[in-house]
A and B are shown apart, each in its own frame.
Chain A
Amino acid sequence: MSDMIEGGLESKRDSDLLRGVLDMCVLGVLATRPAHAYEVVERLRGLGFGAVSYGTIYPLVTRLRRQGLVAQESTASPVGPTRKVLVVTDSGRDALGAWRTRWEESTAAVRRVLSQVDESQAGSS
């Protein structure tokens, strides 16, 4: 029973963590190269976000477009019809930069906490 509760909490924690970082990771992926929604899914999976799906990314991209952080552009394709891809706007780049600063500060703080844990465990043993 407690395993189930812990499993549920872990799953919730994973979900919260993903929710907290995913929009900025989408911006990061698009800042590297414009893409359409499914391509973003594939690239995030390739970078280790195994849990993302089209059902997660498309609504998120819709929100980013509404917020003006991402825009849709048409690009000529050497084969087939014109492609529509998502590109990061100037506001999106600013948001990404600000998030990156906060992320680095937060991870540094977490790292310090974990170092203290490691040190205390090393001292007790």
Chain B
Amino acid sequence: MNRGGWHPKLTTWVDRVDARWHQLGLDATQRRQLRLELVADLSQARLDGAPLDELLAVDPDRFAADVAVGVGFDPPPDGSGDVAAPQRAAREPAAWRLVIADGASVARVAGAGLFGSVVGGVCGLALLLPAIGWVQNDRRMSYHTQGAVMLVIYATAALLAALGGALAVASDCTERSARRVVRRRAFIGLIVSGIAATLVTVSFASATGYSNAAPVVVTELGMVIGVCALGLCLVAMSIRRSRHG
């Protein structure tokens, strides 16, 4: 086993501990704090040479129950049992609480992605403004060439927007080791949903005769945001599925 660094298997182990905390009924804020502390401690243990197989040998369910008791979560009526034995039976959280918790985390990913995309898109356009000005003022360029260059510029701005969104989603991820995967999935999700949003919106714009009336523009904006948010939700759900099985 390799020594000295974080290992993806530890992320899986921490996920199981977290899932057990969830089952026990610890709220999201408490779980997030406990998880951060556990990840920091495990990282330090690994840096100091703790063998990976020894850490992974710890039963995550039992560990989660013991930590929950340690933080004062529904302490047992008596102190009987083994030192590290689970002190109480697991209490299954109500289904609606799980749905709300899942919905909240998916919404957070979508919110972070949209915010990052807007920031990335605005920054991208600001950087590309001189190029846009150059294309529009260059009279030697044919109409078709001008269109092609503008398409490249807007595609670059879209890529920067997707990159901004992906970075924002990944920055919300607590484990450094998982950030790359999250970033990649969010980036691909934003590109795909961006293309879908463009197709839907352009079709709508074409149907309205490319109207620039305020209600039409607002609807088009809503379509872009809605389709991108839907894409981000699907990304968030796929990440959750792959992490929790």
* Residues of A that sit less than 8 Å from B by CB: 15, 18-19, 22, 36-39, 53-56, 58-63, 66, 72, 80, 83-84
Contacts and interface: CB of A to CB of B under 8 A. Distances in A.
B174 interface: no
Contacts of A37: 41, 45
Given A19-B82, A53-B57, A54-B54, 6 more contacts: A18-B83, A38-B48, A53-B84, A56-B84, A58-B67, A72-B37
Contacts of B66: 55, 59
Question: By DSSP majority rule, is chain B's interface helix, strand, loop, or mixed?
Answer: helix
A61 B84 CA distance: 12
21 contacts: A15-B83, A19-B79, A19-B82, A22-B83, A37-B41, A38-B45, A38-B50, A39-B45, A54-B45, A54-B54, A54-B58, A55-B62, A55-B66, A56-B84, A58-B38, A58-B41, A58-B63, A59-B67, A63-B69, A66-B72, A84-B44
B130 to A, nearest CB: 40
A53 B45 CA distance: 12
Interface residues of B, number: 26
Contact of A38 (B44, B63, B72): B44
Interface of B: 37-38, 40-41, 44-45, 47-48, 50, 54-55, 57-59, 62-63, 66-67, 69-72, 79, 82-84
Contacts of B70: 59-63, 66
B47 A80 contact: yes
Contacts of A39: 45, 48
Contacts of A62: 67, 70-71
A63 B83 CA distance: 13
B41 A36 contact: yes
Given A38-B44, A62-B70, A66-B71, A54 B82 contact: no
Contacts of B55: 38, 54
Contacts of B79: 19
